[in-house]
Amino acid sequence: TADEINEEAGSTIAVAMHLDVTRAADWRAAVERCQQEFGGLDVLVNNAGILNVKGIEETTEEEWDSIVNINQKGVWLGMKAAVPAMRRRGGGSIINISSVYGIIGSPACAAYHGTKGAVRLLTKAAAIQYAPDKIRVNSVHPGPILTPMLEVMTPDDVQAAINMTPMKRGAQPEEVGWCVVFLASDEASFVTGAELVVDGGWTAA
């Protein structure tokens, strides 16, 4: 949490605020707060997402709209709000969290597949559009990560997903986090429009 980060740092280097990713006004407020607190915006990580383990016919219209609004529209709104602030700073880095399910299919998770695939290509479009502004845009595609999101799946389904990885385990969130840190950093200064797959070899099999 922000309090834990600030306590460890011994100063205020983190600020927490409520953000509904489906609301443009919330995004504008978050970017404005960032600029007020830290003097500008250099990095955006679009990480909000929800999962529904249903196929095309089983998914209701309300469920579809909810997943699209958070997983897909939220990413677009975040970039739309962040880009002007980054442009004023002379550049920046945007990291959009997609999924291996944005690359491959499965018999279920129809809305999740659709939104994560959209994030994958929206990232590439943004990378091309904003390269002249020195704004890099990349996507990260995790496999099974041991987070509360997996709670919507049965234990058997979680184990089946883990078994799809040649490494035969789920990842800790930090293993994805360090990949995000790399893409956010100057060490990734020539990386844009890329897909960083963090899946224990799932999509290589």
- Which CATH number goes with the domain that contains 78? 3.40.50.720
Q: What angle do CA 184, 187, 191 make, to 5 degrees?
A: 70
The answer to whether residue 35 sits within a structural domain is no
d(Cα 93, Cα 136) in Å, to the nearest integer?
Answer: 5
Q: Is 112 a catalytic residue?
A: yes
d(Cα 135, Cα 120) in Å, to the nearest integer?
Answer: 17
Q: How far is CA 75 from CA 13, 128, 194, in A?
A: 25, 16, 16
Q: Which domain holds residue 118?
A: 41-204
The 10s digit of each residue's pLDDT in 21-74 is 999 999 999 999 999 999 999 999 999 999 999 999 999 999 999 999 999 999
The answer to whether residue 11 sits within a structural domain is no
d(Cα 171, Cα 196) in Å, to the nearest integer?
Answer: 15
The answer to whether residue 197 sits within a structural domain is yes
Name residue, tokens 């880009």. 83
The answer to whether residue 176 sits within a structural domain is yes
What's the number of domains the chain is made of?
1
d(Cα 14, Cα 65) in Å, to the nearest integer?
Answer: 32
CB under 8 Å to 204, separation ≥6 — which residues?
166
The 10s digit of each residue's pLDDT in 76-116 is 999 999 999 999 999 999 999 999 999 999 999 999 999 99
Q: Which of 112, 115, 179, 197 is catalytic?
A: 112
The answer to whether residue 2 sits within a structural domain is no
Give the model's confidence band at 148: pLDDT under 50 very low, under 70 low, under 90 confident, else very high.
confident
Give residue 149's pLDDT: 80
